[in-house]
Structure 1
């Protein structure tokens, strides 16, 4: 910190971008965010920057207006949502006025400690820039008094530029997650999630920026709360013109009570700034996710048995499907719901995690050995460990282990209740059952499902929704420590629990239960704003979608699945030879290019008429690229619009190759583009600025195009 003004300057430099964080810490009052954005020079005069931000005092305002700070203080006149709201019987804690204790320099920023001696509370703010360029902040509140303190709110606050007057966010439902919406930001925007999990409707993220920001232009900031439960997100502004974002865990009434010297911390609040549109913002979040994932190997092609057989587990059919999967190039076989005792439908047996002796008289080992040893694939198994059916041996023995208010009739969803993991006995039971199965069987992968929201989230009187999420994280951490080679997928009725909080413990998300490729195009696009493709499970479903009854050709289904972590959720025993050959070709492309897709930079490229979209992946050295152009609806003009591929090296020559495509419709065009069957070589500037003229495609079809650098001396 600088002497006198207490101003901290931190700059994060990387190959692709540099960011600067500047914070001022007054002796009395909360720290102020002076700047977060593209890098300022190291020699910047911080005292002058601070002075330049001191505004005039308007009439009809407080004599000393409270500044926009990182911990807004009700006690100093902040008239909107404060950072801390708490109550106690022995002292006033609801209107804290913070004083600076000290500032500690961290590797990536600062830890700022404050206290209020009247309220007998202290708070520490950890804030800094991660190597990805993502801003991270987290608050910890401590009760320094003797009496209990009930915490109603502990919120991270991020001031943003006053010129950010447009907001973008998400909405959705089951089978239609991550739908994008945007609006002018001239009023308070609030998202409250009380589902226990994030839910399909309330992905904990928001983007704000200057008017008209887009994928490749405009200044924008994206923010995400790394938490898998109840939350609030807020985008607001003040009469003085300040704009800010706020993110917090939504505590239910009486849920958080701190005894003397006890503390509670917020989840991480993450934010990324871009001066060149949404793609650059997303790339920072992708880089941050990859740093946390630390994937040890390429993402293997999945086959999941659910939509093939549902609860009908027959060993002959299961082995036949595994053989068909191996023949087309699948690398991991997941046995879904229905393998455990008494599980013949979705009305019974959750909680009874013992192999069903009727379906598997010799246990799971015969199937596992066939999959792993004879076919050379990995083996995965489905679980829903947080749930219990009333019709289960577990519930009959321990009804008090359910997360419900025993004084009321239980509120069922999908014929099930939530298991109260905050109860030590229930936690130990489920931990023992999982550890026993993971020890007995060589399981490479767990599909961890969670199919209902919380209601009456308690085991006694006080609510325990927050404790349930913390217990889940603890359980996942225990499993990762004991079985480090085993990967876990977070599935929750599709994409109802997707966030950086659970990403710390898992390697994959099931983005949606909908395998309809057209719906998936929008779902996956929304998912990509904050998370990279390698964590997005994306599967080829059957000819006729189980959730929409639409029918798509194999190429459109496979090309859509290629955009994430490729999998198959289709009974390949019903596929014909031509379809199997097509799938095998697409799997070959995926395996050839997955390092590019999952290690390179990814772009969303919309079309000018809004009827098509392109996903573009470019290697870090910018020498190899892969584009999936998807025609979603009829174009508004007779020709498709040229496809421009950004960020290629301007002088480098590239070969353009059509790798796969949907059937080409003779009813729409008399002739293909002149280059379509030629050896086309163009420099990067031409591909980026002039582009490629594509054929005219039917709606709901696509083409896969590869771009490969060639030596400059190679001739056309």
Structure 2
């Protein structure tokens, strides 16, 4: 496994995605793959991605990732392999796909024979090839072939994908990727949570013999287990420190393990447990950063946008209205007509009919699987309603939950064998529903035909694709179903997307339980959480944006009384919270007071003005002393949008100033305080505003002020300040 002596190959690759949001300082944007040699025996593969470098080399367990980080570091070049192997009884580097045949790294590929006995795998050959945009390694063991591809991606990130295929008589039971990081990268940041409280990030230091294992077992990535983690140095914060974001493209069950080796390096592995299949594939995206979580977020946002929108510019993200928290299952045609008119007057651009539209669906105990329009609620079908929505100038969207079935449904009575179970054990319902077996071709064909039939018959621009339960019983007619369920889902979504590429699909799973990079592509939106309480949403969305961009973040202003918390929050705060994502609203619009309607319309108008910046700019994260507030923003050349959300009583008597350290000191900036017509200017208990804000909602300051710290007004809990900051350009 070595390259010919003296061979050097380099070329520039795809740069469609534009300027690097996470480029290392002083590095010109470029994406290249190069192969370097030392003494004719060892090949170092160097991949450049917008100022960041990944170095790889072949080893006894196949190719290994030697370095990922800034160009010009100690591990970026021909000395990397010697540094990695010095003084070791076994190779220090962790192969991308170790078999366990040598070295200390656990296997990320495993196979069994027809009798279910483990088969020892040893890579017998490894060849390298360049295909114009990536480097590919082809590996062969007795009975198994694998392919690993490493490619530069947008924003300075790197994609590592792997495919494997077992010969006849053998089956794969595990597939994944692994790598090692230097001693200093010993802190791991990971997100947990629950329903209505997703994306709750925690950090811990990895110790020898005490690592971290994240295992999703619920058939979807889940509320409690995110397939995205960040490794970092001590003190890695929102804006400082070395970090590496890791996004595992898993749509279902997965395992991520991280531990510190006894000799100091950190080992990371991301794998899928497989249902004894012949073929499988996995993918990782790595995003290095020298600016903490902000750098990771910028790179991951670029990658996520490329996945969701095919490498093209982010399309216009239309303002949504969703009927769920407005009418639930009570679909009265006259009420819906009134909601259509009210939504249009507010400035809504897409009107979505949620659960309750299909035959017999008056509560959540019945009819899932019977995707026929309810003849009682809609005696003339959906077309008159859709026509009314279209005539009001809005797109029409529809909720659907195709992976599920109620026992009280025609579908279940006709095909009880189509659901997942556990042998002779009683079926376990959740939310009165069972899970269809997507490993079965006839089930996949049924779902595709059903959904495409709806899209063929009606003018539908958007589908809210829901999945409202975990999957615990995972046996079907063909045996254990875990990885085959996830693969079946991805096939179904891909087939529907291919047949109807103009239809946008949202990934919803009891809120944010299916937020992962695998669903981006077939899906262009993720429902962040079922909780529309703006206080909780500020926390949830702040965690979400660590890896996912505002363009795919479903964010709605909810009803005055939040149905998941009982809180009553001002429309000014609800609307500002929704502004910073893919904005919409979800409430009974008939409840709005005149002031609330005027406020919501104001923020919808601001969203239309600013969505180009919100969805195509680069995220701004801030380190703050007071944990009672969240500060975040979006920037593009010459313009910034920053929001300061006060979640609880402030810790201090004076607000912490807003510091924008990269503002140009000699430049002048116009700052507009965006406030709705009925916004609260300041707490009554505050004697006066900072002098800079005393007279107007618009001020002009120098970059020196922003770099030193802009004084901010005080706020009540459950309120926000949104600032639009424009650099004043000198006339030529």
Equivalent residue runs for 1:253-264 within 5 Å: 255-258=275-278, 263-264=279-280
Going from structure 1 to structure 2, the CA distance change for 1:470 and 1:597 (only over 3 Å counts) comes to same
How far residue 315 of structure 1 moved from its aligned partner, in angstroms, is 0.7
**Does the 8 Å contact 2:230/2:243 carry over to 1?**
yes
| 1:391 matched residue in structure 2 | 408
Q: Name the CA distance, whole Å, in 2 between partners of 1:247 and 1:64.
A: 22
| 1:497 matched residue in structure 2 | 514
* 96-105 or 582-591, which deviates more: 96-105
How far residue 686 of structure 1 moved from its aligned partner, in angstroms, is 2.7
Q: TM-score, normalised by structure 2?
A: 0.90
Equivalent in 79, 85, 88 of residue 48 of structure 1? 79
How far residue 423 of structure 1 moved from its aligned partner, in angstroms, is 1.7
| 2:256 matched residue in structure 1 | 233
Q: Name the CA distance, whole Å, in 1 between partners of 2:404 and 2:470.
A: 11
Equivalent in 381, 392, 397 of residue 398 of structure 2? 381
Q: Name the CA distance, whole Å, in 2 between partners of 1:522 and 1:378.
A: 30
How far residue 610 of structure 1 moved from its aligned partner, in angstroms, is 1.8
| 1:70 matched residue in structure 2 | 96
Q: Name the CA distance, whole Å, in 2 between partners of 1:377 and 1:411.
A: 41
* 346-355 or 267-276, which deviates more: 267-276
1:194 aligns with 2:194: no
**Does the 8 Å contact 1:215/1:279 carry over to 2?**
yes
* 406-415 or 100-109, which deviates more: 100-109
* 355-364 or 415-424, which deviates more: 415-424
Q: Name the CA distance, whole Å, in 1 between partners of 2:114 and 2:528.
A: 46
1:311 aligns with 2:306: no
* 66-75 or 562-571, which deviates more: 66-75
Equivalent residue runs for 1:483-522 within 5 Å: 483-522=500-539
Equivalent in 642, 645, 657 of residue 660 of structure 2? 645
How far residue 120 of structure 1 moved from its aligned partner, in angstroms, is 3.1
- Partner of 1:413, secondary structure, is coil
Equivalent in 698, 718, 721 of residue 700 of structure 1? 718
| 1:37 matched residue in structure 2 | 69
How far residue 109 of structure 1 moved from its aligned partner, in angstroms, is 3.2
| 1:590 matched residue in structure 2 | 607
Cα deviations across residues 382-424 of structure 1 (Å, max 9, x unaligned)?
1001111000011111111112245331111110111122222
Q: Name the CA distance, whole Å, in 2 between partners of 1:65 and 1:378.
A: 58
Equivalent residue runs for 1:194-593 within 5 Å: 194-251=217-274, 255-258=275-278, 263-265=279-281, 267-294=282-309, 297-373=315-391, 375-405=392-422, 407-460=424-477, 462-593=479-610
Going from structure 1 to structure 2, the CA distance change for 1:167 and 1:400 (only over 3 Å counts) comes to same
Q: Name the CA distance, whole Å, in 2 between partners of 1:123 and 1:425.
A: 30
| 2:19 matched residue in structure 1 | none
How far residue 342 of structure 1 moved from its aligned partner, in angstroms, is 0.5
- Partner of 2:145, secondary structure, is strand
1:711 aligns with 2:729: yes
| 1:658 matched residue in structure 2 | 673
**Does the 8 Å contact 1:525/1:604 carry over to 2?**
no
- Partner of 1:617, secondary structure, is strand
How far residue 91 of structure 1 moved from its aligned partner, in angstroms, is 12
Q: Name the CA distance, whole Å, in 2 between partners of 1:108 and 1:190.
A: 33
1:131 aligns with 2:167: no
Cα deviations across residues 77-101 of structure 1 (Å, max 9, x unaligned)?
42x4212222326999644332433
Give structure 2 stretches of 5+ with no counterpart. 1-34
Equivalent in 169, 190, 195 of residue 190 of structure 2? 169
Going from structure 1 to structure 2, the CA distance change for 1:564 and 1:666 (only over 3 Å counts) comes to closer
Q: Name the CA distance, whole Å, in 2 between partners of 1:94 and 1:66.
A: 25
How far residue 653 of structure 1 moved from its aligned partner, in angstroms, is 1.7
RMSD of Structure 2 on Structure 1 (CA): 2.1
Going from structure 1 to structure 2, the CA distance change for 1:691 and 1:176 (only over 3 Å counts) comes to same
| 2:31 matched residue in structure 1 | none
How far residue 32 of structure 1 moved from its aligned partner, in angstroms, is 2.3
1:86 aligns with 2:107: no
- Partner of 1:268, secondary structure, is strand
Q: Name the CA distance, whole Å, in 1 between partners of 2:725 and 2:277.
A: 58
- Partner of 1:281, secondary structure, is helix
**Does the 8 Å contact 2:244/2:296 carry over to 1?**
yes
Cα deviations across residues 25-45 of structure 1 (Å, max 9, x unaligned)?
14x43222221111239x999
Q: Name the CA distance, whole Å, in 2 between partners of 1:290 and 1:250.
A: 28
Give structure 1 stretches of 5+ with no counterpart. 58-62
Going from structure 1 to structure 2, the CA distance change for 1:629 and 1:92 (only over 3 Å counts) comes to same
**Does the 8 Å contact 1:672/1:695 carry over to 2?**
yes
Q: Name the CA distance, whole Å, in 2 between partners of 1:646 and 1:312.
A: 52
Going from structure 1 to structure 2, the CA distance change for 1:164 and 1:333 (only over 3 Å counts) comes to same
Cα deviations across residues 173-224 of structure 1 (Å, max 9, x unaligned)?
1100101111122121001111001111111111111100001100011111
Q: Name the CA distance, whole Å, in 1 between partners of 2:374 and 2:234.
A: 58
Q: Name the CA distance, whole Å, in 2 between partners of 1:347 and 1:53.
A: 59
Q: TM-score, normalised by structure 1?
A: 0.92
Q: Name the CA distance, whole Å, in 2 between partners of 1:196 and 1:586.
A: 38
**Does the 8 Å contact 1:66/1:76 carry over to 2?**
no
| 1:60 matched residue in structure 2 | none
Going from structure 1 to structure 2, the CA distance change for 1:33 and 1:44 (only over 3 Å counts) comes to closer
Q: Name the CA distance, whole Å, in 2 between partners of 1:590 and 1:89.
A: 58
- Partner of 2:154, secondary structure, is coil
**Does the 8 Å contact 2:93/2:179 carry over to 1?**
no
Q: Name the CA distance, whole Å, in 1 between partners of 2:90 and 2:237.
A: 39
- Partner of 2:155, secondary structure, is coil
**Does the 8 Å contact 1:172/1:201 carry over to 2?**
yes
| 1:684 matched residue in structure 2 | 703
- Partner of 1:494, secondary structure, is coil
Q: Name the CA distance, whole Å, in 1 between partners of 2:727 and 2:448.
A: 51
**Does the 8 Å contact 2:314/2:615 carry over to 1?**
no
**Does the 8 Å contact 1:174/1:494 carry over to 2?**
yes
**Does the 8 Å contact 2:85/2:91 carry over to 1?**
no
**Does the 8 Å contact 1:616/1:645 carry over to 2?**
no
**Does the 8 Å contact 1:29/1:99 carry over to 2?**
no
